[in-house]
Chain A
C-alpha cells in the first residue's frame, strides 16, 4: 500500500495487518521462551518444542514477508508450497512405473495454475480460466495422457489419485494466492489482510480444538480416522473460532455482520473436515506424517491439511458476499 507523503511514495502497512503481524510475533516470542524454559522445568517432556518453534519462525517469516511484498511474492511462495505438498502426496500414494511422465505433468500443472494468477495480458479475466483449469482440463489431460501411455491395470485408481492430488495440493491452495489479487480498496486491511485473516482463523481453529480437547475432551468424534479428536474439542474450537471470526471480521474483511456470522460458522467446519480428510488419507497410506521436511511438524501437507478445505470455501463465500473482483 503506497501513500504519497510530501511528494514521496511511502510504503504503509495497514494498522489491522500491522497489529495482526505483531500479534504473531508476540506469540512466536512467547513460544520461544517456553521452548527454553519448559524443558528445564520438566526435563524430557518438551523435546519437540525447540525444533517446532524454529520451524514456526521460518514459516512466519516466509509467509509474513511474502504478504508484505505483495501478490507476486505470495504467488511464488504458495506455488513452491503446492509443489512440495503435491510431491509428498505423489510419493506416498500408489503410482505405477509408467506414471513418471504423468507425475511430471502434475508438477507442471503447478506452474500453469499459479501462472494464471499472473496472466492478466493473456486472458480478459484469468480468474475464469483458473476456475476450470485443474478441475476440468487437468482431469481431461491426466485421463487422456494415461490412456495414451497404455497400461490398463490400475488405470482408474491412478488417474483418480493424480487428479485428487492436484485438486487438493495445487488448485485449493492456489486460492490463497489468488485472493491476494483482490484490489486493496475492496478490503479494510487490503488483500494481504484477507489472506492473513484466513491463515490466522484456520490456525486458531486447530489450536482452539486442541486446547478444548485437552481440557474437556471425552467423547471421540472420529474414532477410526483421528482418535485424538473429541466432540468437546471440535465444538469448543468451532465456537471459539466463530466468535473470533465475527468480532475480527470488520478489521480485515468487507463483510456485513450477517455475512461475517455465516462465514464464522462455515469456515471452521471446512477446516475441521480438511483436517480429518488428510488424516483418513494418511491412515489409508499407512504413514503418520507426509514427510520430515519441517522439523517438529512433519510434512508440508501435514501443516496444510485444514487449509486445503478452508481456503476455497473462504474465497468463494467472500467473493459471493462482498468482493467485486471475483
Chain B
C-alpha cells in the first residue's frame, strides 16, 4: 500500500511538478544503475537534489531507491519523520554525535544487502550553493562492505540556486544532472573518495555553463 502511494505519488505528482519547476535535464541517463545493489553518489547543494535524483529513475525502480539522509534533520520525529521514511524512503544516518561503538552505516549496509540502490551525498551537508566541499569517507566504507555495488557519480547543477541552504523561498531554475561511468572499490578509503570527487568535478564540463556569482 505504502509502496503504491510512493510510486504513484512520485509518478503522477512529484515528477510532473518537478519537471515544470526544474526541467530535470539529464545527460547520460542510460548510465544509471538498472538494479541493486548499487550506489549513486552526487554533489549536494539543496533539498531539491534528492527530488531531482529520485525523478531521474523510472518509476518501477522507485521501490528500491533509498536516499541516505541526516537523522538530525529528517528524522526528528512526527509527521516529517514518517514522510521522510515512508514516502521519500530515506535511510536515516546519525551525524556528529554518534558514539564510537555504534556503526552509523548499519542501516545503509542492510539496504545494500537487500539489493537496494542507495542515493548518497558524500559531502555530508549542503554547504554553499553550487560549490563542492570535501567528501567524507562513508561512501568508501559502504562500497568496501559491498564491493559488488558499482558507484555511479552524478553531477547536479542548479538546485542550489532554486533552494539554497537556509533559504525560505523556492525560486524555480532549471537543473541539469550529468551521469558518469560507474566506479568500483579500489582498496583505499581516501583514494576512493578522491577519485569519486574528481569524477564528479569532471562531469561538470558537460553541464551548461553556470553564471551565477
Contacts and interface: CB of A to CB of B under 8 A. Distances in A.
A286 B161 CA distance: 19
Interface in A79-98: 80, 84, 87-88, 90-97
A293 B212 contact: no
B144 interface: no
A292 interface: yes
Interface residues of A, number: 24
B23 A287 contact: no
Contact of B169 (A94, A95, A100): A100
B173 A90 contact: yes
B175 to A, nearest CB: 9
A36 B116 CA distance: 37
A5 interface: no
B25 interface: yes
Contacts of B110: none
B25 A94 contact: no
B169 A104 contact: yes
Interface in B30-82: none
Contacts of A93: 211
Given A91-B174, A104-B169, A293 B211 contact: no
B171 interface: yes
Contacts of B96: none
A155 interface: no
B208 A286 contact: yes
A239 B4 CA distance: 57
Contacts of B169: 100-101, 104
A292 B23 contact: yes
Contact of A87 (B23, B26, B212): B23
A97 B26 contact: no
Nearest to B22: A87
Contact of B26 (A84, A286, A287, A292): A292
A135 to B, nearest CB: 24
A96 B212 contact: yes
A90 B173 CA distance: 7
Majority secondary structure, A binding face: helix
Given A90-B173, A91-B158, A291 B23 contact: yes
Contacts of A92: 208-209, 211
B208 A87 contact: no
A107 interface: yes
Contacts of B166: none
Contacts of A287: 208-209
Given A100-B171, A107-B172, A291-B174, A95 B23 contact: no
Interface in B160-213: 161, 167, 169, 171-174, 208-209, 211-213
A285 interface: yes
A213 to B, nearest CB: 27
A280 interface: no
A293 B171 contact: no
B19 interface: yes
Interface string A90-132: 1111111100110110010000000000000000000000000
A94 B208 contact: no
Nearest to A96: B213
A299 B26 CA distance: 13
B174 A94 contact: no
Given A92-B208, A286-B209, A100 B161 contact: yes
A88 B23 contact: yes
A80 B212 CA distance: 25
B204 to A, nearest CB: 14
Nearest to B128: A97
Contacts of A84: 20, 23
Given A96-B213, A292-B26, A293-B23, A87 B172 contact: yes
A285 B167 CA distance: 27
A107 B211 CA distance: 19
A299 B25 CA distance: 10
Contacts of B208: 92, 285-287
Contacts of B174: 87-88, 91, 291
Interface in A269-317: 285-287, 291-293, 299
B128 to A, nearest CB: 10
Contacts of A104: 169, 171
Given A87-B173, A103-B171, A287-B208, 8 more contacts: A88-B23, A94-B211, A100-B171, A285-B208, A285-B209, A285-B211, A291-B25, A293-B23
6 contacts: A87-B172, A91-B161, A92-B211, A100-B169, A285-B209, A293-B19
Closest 5 CB pairs of A and B: A94-B211, A292-B25, A91-B174, A100-B171, A91-B173
